[in-house]
Structure 1
Amino acid sequence: MRILFPVPYAPMLRPSTALALLAGLTVSVFAAKPDKPAKKEKEFVAAKPAFTPSADTPAFDPSKVTPQHLDTSMFKVPEGLEITVWATSPMLFNPANMDVDHAGRIWVAEGVNYRRHSGRSREGDAIRVLQDTDGDGKADESHVFVREKELECPLGVAVFDNVIVVSNTPNMIVYTDVNRDLKFDPAVDKREVLLSGFEQAQHDHSLHSVYAGPDGRWYFSHGNCGAQFSDKSGNTFRIGSGYLNNPYVGQKSDDGHVYAGGFTASIDPSGHNARIMGYNYRNSYEGVRNSFGDMFLNDNDDPPACRVSHLIEGGSFGFFSPDGKRQWRADKRPGQTIPVAEWRQDDPGSIPAGDVYGGGAPTGMCFYENGALGDKWKGLLLSCETGRNVVFGYLPKPDGAGFKLERFDFCTSNTTGVFKGSDFVGGGKNLSDESHTLFRPSDVCVGADGAIYVSDWFDKRTGGHQDTDETCSGTIYRIAPKGTKPQTAKISFDTTEGQIAALKSPANNVRHTGFVKLKEQGDNAVAAVATLAEDKDPYLAARAIWLLAQMGEKASLRIRPWLESDDENKRLVALRALRAAGGDLMDLFNSMSADGSAAVRREVAVAMRDVPVAQSGNILVELAKRYSGKDRSYLEAWGIGCTGKEDEVWAALKKASNGTPAEEWTDAFAQATWRLHPAAAVESVKARAVSAKLSPQQRKLALDTLAFTQDASAAQAMLAVAKDKESPIHGDAMWWLINRSTNDWKDYNIAGELKAQGIFDPEAAKLVTIEIPPATPSLVKLEDVTKLKGDAKNGSSLVVRCVMCHQINNQGVEFGPSLQGWGLSQPTDIIAQAILEPSKDIAHGFDGVEIVTKDGIKIHGMVLTEGDVLIVRSMGGQTQFVPKSRIASKKKMDRSLMLSGTQLGLTAQDVADIVAYMRQAE
């Protein structure tokens, strides 16, 4: 057997090589091409509200409500830290987002006019400024910076010195406080719509907050409502969404790529040179980019598959199909779990989803690098989770080209594991007045004093675009070592010392102002920045490296010790900083494609994304040789680099294999072929799919490779595989043929070919009637169950009655929602109600359909795939292929496909026993 991918790692660059490369670099600012003519801006009409309130909408009067907040004694925080109230209503109301300025003031975007309460604050929502003037750890002053009727629950506020950026769909608004009096005055100050074209005002899945990166650029996230916006360079980005079926779904953006779903973008502060950093999310509320350049984000679920993830530049998380037209459930394969299907983890082109933790409603994020918490917490990633009353903590650990994300509760009011008011536990039907369930952390920031600040929306409900707290109460908590008072350095942006102090700030957006001011100084500040690059604190030093790369050719030469370092993170930061500065780096990329670090090679790979194959081909082949076959992050980063040149790269790899027969491919080469899925590989991949010499897993990978190849030859190859009905992958081949006949292969006459080749004739297929028995009122009442003590041991035996519809303990069929671990996060009454009356609250995505054929066959089930042939799955996991031509009627059922507790023959004690078992079953 020939080894196609030798994997011994090449040594690091020799000092002489890297020095020579660096000396020849010509570093420039980001804008590498002339600006296109800017498109005419939409005219802003002052005091124009996004929504007009109805006449009976009561106006919000703060003086007539009783503000509320939680007793800090109910919070659990790490040993040695304490949580205190920094500010609460009436100093602020409904905090949707916040930011910290250089003086330690906290700026809050309020959402009094949230959704159905539009117009409750008659003059619009506010951006508010709070401050602790006496340094006792509590805010003592609050005032409104700006209030406008156009502001309707803005979902983001960012402060860069006297520049305040507000995210208020459809616009990103920039206010400049010219006279620095912390109050917006249209006669003196400036207001500009920097970007526009973000879809769905007053929607949680739209434009979110702006934050700065270590490269001097601004970053922001957006949900899956879709967007069509143009930057100041005249480039238009079209991000389609099957969620709202935007007219530009599947269209290319001006950068040549097709984007779908939620996304992360970056821009120059001037609004020029926009880039899409990641896409195909559901609704990422916020992200971070730390001083090393690592990006992380969180994302909402549909249904329970919320995640916190490492973002690989240019990566897709797969919520929609690549063209944006199909949501994930349309492509969910038999046997896939929801987390795997929702983020398309079995599909080439989807990056690893990271920590997928289940149901919830994630919001703000931050990354702690330095400050009051001490060295123990350096590198702490924090993510707010309103649905679970917690701020999650992570200490990301490098793992090949990706990161391990091990989750813990950093701050929570609810340690019971029983949650209320969130969509995954019944939403508005499962509210509670219990105080510990009211903590809804909307945002988290590192303060200028280095403490952690958490804003609390405070409500019985989260998600579903709903809120219930008519007081609009809100609180900001401060988390710091016990007994510490704020120590905020006084920063003057007029001196080099003050600018360096700003660059060293614990607060992310304060650092940006220091970066900008030092860069403006040019040569005069190089010595001071170079000194910071020698700091023992790796985060502080990294910030200086990013800046040196943009301070001219001589300054960039000071980066060379990092390129030659034995520390792979230093090499990575140096490479990223030089990329951000611009210039011709192809010689450097070529040399670093042999670097011993998978993370460094990942960075080289994504840098090749828009580089023509004539310049990037050899580098991509070199990177492929170092793929171990076990690092999905590396494989996907490499695939991103191969975008648009998959055929040429695969041909070069095949040539390098010296004719290795398909059956003897290494797993690494087979996976690389799967990731690229070029048409030229079809015959070789088909040979692997039909080979009895290979394992079923290897054959299935080959089958999946065919399924993602957009070519008629791949469809023919799949038909050939499906002919062998004894093959262990026959069922998979049939599923792919039916599925692809409705989408990517719809022009290839799949149905006709199946019939002609004698594989499957949907018109002649035997269909059978499968009906769910009529719903009957439950003979057992909920209150009869909740007063009983359940026997978990007996419940483990009784739960087998559910396996005809559900999977639990690795048994059962995939029909209804998986029950594996479901009960751990559910209260007793919700579990019991779901068993007794499943039609009362049908799980999202499990709606039943009744199909009646022209010859009277009635089928109750879920439609997995629409098209000329419908794939319908019914109780017991039975799957039928129903030609559309044979259907007389099709309608949505008004009841669940699941049997009730009475129909399953369960008594009140039986239900109590099953509940007890499910409350403890992993």
Structure 2
Amino acid sequence: MMRGARRAAVVAMMLLIAMTTPRGEQVRQGTAPSQPAAKAPQAPLPRLDRTTEIPLALFTVPEGFEVTLWAGADMVRNPTNIDVDRDGRIWVAEGVRYRKHHARQPAGDRIVVLEDTNGDGRADASHTFVQEPALVAPLGVAVIDNRIVVSQPPDLIVYTDVDRNQRFDPAVDRREVLLTGFQGINHDHSLHSVTVGPDGKWLFNSGNMGARFTDRSGRTFTSIGPYRADPIGPWTWPHDAAKWAGTRSDDGHVYVGGFMARMNPDGTQVEIIGHNFRNSYEQSITSLGDVFQSDNDDPPACRVSWVMEYANFGFASNDGQRTWQADRRPWQSVPMAEWRQDDPGSTPAGDIYGGGSPTGTAFYENGALGEAWRGTFFAAEPGRNAIFAYQPVRDGAGFRLERRDFLTSNREERYAGTDFSGGPGTTTAEIATLFRPSDIAVGADGALYVSDWIDPIVGFHEDLDDAVSGAIYRIAPKAFAARTPALDTASIDGLVSALRSPAVNVRAIGFEGLQARGAAVVPAVAALLDDSNVYIRSRALFLLYQLGPEGRAKAGAPDAYADASLRIAAYRAMRRAGEDITPIAARLARDTDAGVRRDVALSMRDRAAELALPILADVARRFDGLDRSYLEALGTGATHKEAALYDLLRREMGTGDPRAWSDAFAWIAWRLHPPTSVDAFARRAAAAALPIDARRRAMDALAFVHTRAAATEMVELAASEGPLKESATWWVLNRTSNDWADHDLLPTLKRRGIFDPDTVRLQSVIVPPRDTAVPVVSLADVTSRTGDPARGKDGFARCMMCHAMGGVGAEVGPALDGWTRGKSLPVIAAAIIDPDAGIAHGYAGTTIRTTDGLTIQGLLIKEGDPLMVRSMGNVTQVIPASRVKARERLTRSLMMDAAQLGMSAQDVADVIAFLKAH
């Protein structure tokens, strides 16, 4: 009897084992980190009321580098963003008035200029460029020659320092609001800094407070989603977000939430080049024209991404009305749901690294760090007290992003004062956790500069440092002697030197000065095409295409370059110069490189169908059936032409029975999903002979077609017995309140027995309480034993009623394939022994109390009306909102612990051995 009881206990335990993620585990794409273990009670941390400096000995950097203090708390106060000018000065945007401290400095926040006048490697002079009441914790400053661009919602402000004395005097200098209409005054999720690209265009971004603004060409752009927040302070938002969310912009496209824009320096010809972010703090553009950014999350799914042109990054629904939580499918992990990675039209997310609070970024191309660091993207992560380093590698149509720490004060990774470490209650006085890097810049001397906010807390729109401490550190080779080249901008050589600068916005001086001289500078610029540094060669390419016929002749056609990255750069340069790309696009659509073909597809987005379709078809024929970046580029290029492209390709790639489609065409059809594809997807979803993943993908495609026919086919799947029944039911109930709301599905759902709010029968399901009388299984006892995977398999066989492995089994809990990968034995064992110690985001339980006295505890898998709750025993119930009396979150895990389940230490070790083998 005991052996049978233990086997049953293992089965019950496995039902929910994957609903917990042990603490202390870092995550990769497709996984989610956990809440931390409960900590011992701490005395409340007093606010910091005196300036703080972080000992440099705490910092870890790669071998050969050193960290020095370039400016300390005596000169730097709450730095939100920095930039460098041609002479090596650092300009700082201050956030003394941040959030609830908006009245702390009535004269306004400042833009401050810091300088090392004696060349000893530390700033010794400081003065205010501008201070005014309108500045309330501005989140961006860019120095573009004598134009200082400040990102201060609702405005993007350009101060022109006419007399070039680095002090704004309204009697001499000019102040212009270049663009206005950005939501989020005194809010982190708003307008961020400007960066100049290799084409001379200005890039900026905004968080998901969103915006509605009119550019200097007279076109109005709207990008607003479901995120809402009340103003902190005596301000109002410029727009009613509920009114404008999901509105079509004047360019014919719908943008949602956070976005990135590209424009001419005078504010004309704005293009939205990426949208549906949560809160990307700053972008970095390379001289090849690639853009990288980090993006904040709803814990735990922060990411670092390559920004594919025009891409939808998936944080909110495409109509701007719903959060990702409202659309999270029951079978999705949190990161996959948060960035809508299973939705057609959402671009690959990049490196999803888990909890954090990402801020400023920089891309290093040349300078003092050396060739080994050429092509490195740096991302500040104050939540993790670190600067991340990535060296993006081209991978098909996208990039592979491998993360490592470049600079950290917290080698032990004992995080505090963050949402993923337990919130404000985890703030500590430990100095290692006070390093809060807000921005990074490559200096005009080629060194790396990092600004530090210094605070016990990050996020929560909160700060605890009443002394408004700050710092700027320099990271450079040991014994580095800073040298900022003097730029003679009156000469061609001086402008070429500016174009070669390590500092991205200093390069704009060279670009603009050389561009203004026209054909006369072509030989000097063309000489850079022979440089050993591919980034400098690319800077020359972009400029040559804007230097008239002589420059274009020197640059040559894109397909003349053996290096695919330069073929891409040259093609981008042609587009930015307004060249006719049709002939070259037709050739490059058949290029051997997937990245080249990707850019060709993207360039077709706003071109007429008669020109674009043959080119897109050539790109489609070369899809390998695997590369999601390539697929998304194809779909983006087909915007407003999806049905025509599908019909063209179906005649060639999708003939015959849809159940026999190739993987490549099945994916293309899923991405395009025009109304004419409904019948084919219905047949594929119902085809028992197809792999379950292919069937589910066909079902999901139906959910993104807004027609009654698609809704009808989904109802058929929900009414049929089979592995997709519950999933199809979820889709029907989700879509009845949004995309299918006009189809009046409720009578059909009642008639087919799928859902009738008037007759639905519910049952109580209560998670057994913890039994404190049962001895707790010892972690040491488990980890000292050798598990037997064969015995573990015996217990797992019946778990397949609730979990899938290898594509076989049910999906009550997440699939267990690879669940143990990367986790240590103690961490895995702790998740089984004490599941309350770490509940993964997205798997917290909910208690529903009904109007007729039932208690239903389980995993909430659908919000809204009706709710769906899945409980232990694979019981899924659909609960009309009218039946809900109360709802609250469980404070414990849904999973029973090992002691409750009657498991011995050996039982736990055996199950772990089986899981680790799979």
Q: In the alignment, is residue 420 of structure 1 matched against residue 400 of structure 2?
A: no
Q: In the alignment, is residue 74 of structure 1 matched against residue 58 of structure 2?
A: yes
User: Per the alignment, in what secondary structure is the counterpart of residue 508 of structure 1?
Assistant: coil
Q: In the alignment, is residue 509 of structure 1 matched against residue 505 of structure 2?
A: yes
Describe the shift of the 1:822–1:271 C-alpha distance in structure 2 as closer, same or farther (beyond 3 A). Answer: farther
Distance in 2, matches of 1:696 and 1:894, equals 33
Match among 665, 672, 697 for residue 676 of structure 1? 672
Describe the shift of the 1:658–1:458 C-alpha distance in structure 2 as closer, same or farther (beyond 3 A). Answer: closer
Quote how far apart the aligned CAs of 1:552 are.
1.3
Q: In the alignment, is residue 196 of structure 1 matched against residue 180 of structure 2?
A: yes
Q: Is the 8 A contact 1:295 1:312 kept in 2?
A: yes
RMSD of equivalent CA atoms: 3.7
Cα deviations by residue, 1:799-843 (Å, 9 ceiling, x for unpaired): 99xx99x99999998789999789989x99xx99x96988xx998
Query: Which letter maps to 2:461?
Result: H
User: Per the alignment, in what secondary structure is the counterpart of residue 229 of structure 1?
Assistant: strand
Distance in 2, matches of 1:155 and 1:822, equals 39
When structure 1 is superposed on structure 2, of 597-606 and 652-661 the one drifting more is 652-661
Distance in 2, matches of 1:696 and 1:822, equals 24
Q: In the alignment, is residue 879 of structure 1 matched against residue 870 of structure 2?
A: no
Distance in 2, matches of 1:796 and 1:877, equals 32
Cα deviations by residue, 1:283-312 (Å, 9 ceiling, x for unpaired): 111111100011111011211111001111
Match of 1:865 in 2: 862
Q: Is the 8 A contact 1:240 1:247 kept in 2?
A: no
Distance in 2, matches of 1:273 and 1:154, equals 25
Match among 595, 614, 621 for residue 617 of structure 2? 621
Query: Which letter maps to 1:231?
Result: D
User: Per the alignment, in what secondary structure is the counterpart of residue 532 of structure 2?
Assistant: coil
Cα deviations by residue, 1:484-519 (Å, 9 ceiling, x for unpaired): 110111012222111111100000000012111111
Match among 736, 739, 744 for residue 744 of structure 1? 739
Q: Under a length normalisation based on structure 2, what TM-score does the superposition of the two structures give?
A: 0.85
Match of 1:583 in 2: 579
Distance in 2, matches of 1:334 and 1:899, equals 16
Q: Is the 8 A contact 1:860 1:897 kept in 2?
A: no
Q: In the alignment, is residue 157 of structure 1 matched against residue 141 of structure 2?
A: yes
Quote how far apart the aligned CAs of 1:583 are.
3.1
Match of 1:703 in 2: 699
Distance in 2, matches of 1:758 and 1:808, equals 27
Quote how far apart the aligned CAs of 1:897 are.
5.8
Describe the shift of the 1:99–1:658 C-alpha distance in structure 2 as closer, same or farther (beyond 3 A). Answer: closer
Cα deviations by residue, 1:179-224 (Å, 9 ceiling, x for unpaired): 1111111111111111111112111111111111111011111111
Query: Which letter maps to 1:151?
Result: L
Q: Is the 8 A contact 1:159 1:165 kept in 2?
A: yes
Match among 123, 130, 135 for residue 107 of structure 2? 123
Quote how far apart the aligned CAs of 1:229 are.
1.1
Q: Is the 8 A contact 1:816 1:846 kept in 2?
A: no
User: Per the alignment, in what secondary structure is the counterpart of residue 363 of structure 1?
Assistant: coil
Distance in 2, matches of 1:184 and 1:707, equals 56
Q: Is the 8 A contact 1:808 1:820 kept in 2?
A: no
Match among 330, 335, 339 for residue 339 of structure 1? 335
Distance in 1, matches of 2:214 and 2:103, equals 30
What are structure 2's unaligned runs of at least 5 residues? 1-46, 229-240
Distance in 1, matches of 2:372 and 2:481, equals 19
Distance in 2, matches of 1:69 and 1:743, equals 52
Distance in 1, matches of 2:879 and 2:218, equals 49
User: Per the alignment, in what secondary structure is the counterpart of residue 272 of structure 2?
Assistant: strand
Match of 1:891 in 2: 886
Match of 1:301 in 2: 297
Query: Which letter maps to 2:459?
Result: G
Distance in 2, matches of 1:459 and 1:484, equals 29
Cα deviations by residue, 1:877-896 (Å, 9 ceiling, x for unpaired): 64211234xx3443342753
User: Per the alignment, in what secondary structure is the counterpart of residue 687 of structure 1?
Assistant: helix
Query: Which letter maps to 2:629?
Result: S
Quote how far apart the aligned CAs of 1:793 are.
2.0
Quote how far apart the aligned CAs of 1:729 are.
2.5
Describe the shift of the 1:821–1:356 C-alpha distance in structure 2 as closer, same or farther (beyond 3 A). Answer: farther
User: Per the alignment, in what secondary structure is the counterpart of residue 242 of structure 2?
Assistant: coil
Match of 1:323 in 2: 319
Q: Superposition pairs for residues 596-611 of structure 1, below 5 Å? A: 596-611=592-607
Q: Superposition pairs for residues 898-909 of structure 1, below 5 Å? A: 898=893
Quote how far apart the aligned CAs of 1:144 are.
1.0
Q: In the alignment, is residue 410 of structure 1 matched against residue 406 of structure 2?
A: yes
Match among 644, 666, 687 for residue 648 of structure 1? 644
Match among 275, 288, 306 for residue 284 of structure 2? 288
Describe the shift of the 1:850–1:67 C-alpha distance in structure 2 as closer, same or farther (beyond 3 A). Answer: closer
Quote how far apart the aligned CAs of 1:899 are.
6.4
Quote how far apart the aligned CAs of 1:94 are.
1.0
Query: Which letter maps to 1:677?
Result: H
Describe the shift of the 1:878–1:186 C-alpha distance in structure 2 as closer, same or farther (beyond 3 A). Answer: farther
Cα deviations by residue, 1:361-399 (Å, 9 ceiling, x for unpaired): 110100000001111111011000001111000111000
Q: In the alignment, is residue 217 of structure 1 matched against residue 201 of structure 2?
A: yes
What are structure 1's unaligned runs of at least 5 residues? 1-59
Cα deviations by residue, 1:381-434 (Å, 9 ceiling, x for unpaired): 100000111100011100000000001111111111221111100121001111
Cα deviations by residue, 1:699-724 (Å, 9 ceiling, x for unpaired): 22211111211111111122233343
Q: Is the 8 A contact 1:741 1:867 kept in 2?
A: no
Match among 509, 514, 536 for residue 540 of structure 1? 536
Distance in 1, matches of 2:481 and 2:782, equals 50
Distance in 2, matches of 1:286 and 1:717, equals 44
Quote how far apart the aligned CAs of 1:693 are.
2.8
When structure 1 is superposed on structure 2, of 290-299 and 225-234 the one drifting more is 225-234
Distance in 1, matches of 2:80 and 2:586, equals 46
Describe the shift of the 1:344–1:538 C-alpha distance in structure 2 as closer, same or farther (beyond 3 A). Answer: same
Cα deviations by residue, 1:715-750 (Å, 9 ceiling, x for unpaired): 11222333430x332332222222222221122233
Q: Under a length normalisation based on structure 1, what TM-score does the superposition of the two structures give?
A: 0.84
Quote how far apart the aligned CAs of 1:789 are.
9.3
Distance in 2, matches of 1:285 and 1:405, equals 19
Match of 2:242 in 1: 246
Match of 1:457 in 2: 453
Match of 2:350 in 1: 354
Quote how far apart the aligned CAs of 1:350 are.
0.7
Q: In the alignment, is residue 694 of structure 1 matched against residue 666 of structure 2?
A: no
Q: Superposition pairs for residues 465-504 of structure 1, below 5 Å? A: 465-504=461-500
Distance in 1, matches of 2:103 and 2:861, equals 42
Distance in 1, matches of 2:317 and 2:697, equals 19
Distance in 1, matches of 2:835 and 2:602, equals 52
Describe the shift of the 1:824–1:141 C-alpha distance in structure 2 as closer, same or farther (beyond 3 A). Answer: farther
Quote how far apart the aligned CAs of 1:532 are.
1.7
Q: Is the 8 A contact 1:816 1:898 kept in 2?
A: no
Query: Which letter maps to 2:150?
Result: V
Q: Is the 8 A contact 1:549 1:559 kept in 2?
A: yes
Quote how far apart the aligned CAs of 1:559 are.
1.6
Describe the shift of the 1:723–1:246 C-alpha distance in structure 2 as closer, same or farther (beyond 3 A). Answer: closer
Q: Is the 8 A contact 1:329 1:864 kept in 2?
A: no
Match of 1:363 in 2: 359
Describe the shift of the 1:775–1:223 C-alpha distance in structure 2 as closer, same or farther (beyond 3 A). Answer: farther
Q: In the alignment, is residue 793 of structure 1 matched against residue 790 of structure 2?
A: no
Q: Is the 8 A contact 1:93 1:472 kept in 2?
A: yes
Aligned residues: 839
Distance in 2, matches of 1:771 and 1:822, equals 32
Match among 739, 761, 764 for residue 766 of structure 1? 761
Q: In the alignment, is residue 735 of structure 1 matched against residue 730 of structure 2?
A: yes
Distance in 2, matches of 1:466 and 1:822, equals 36
Quote how far apart the aligned CAs of 1:172 are.
1.0
Quote how far apart the aligned CAs of 1:565 are.
1.8
Distance in 2, matches of 1:575 and 1:289, equals 16
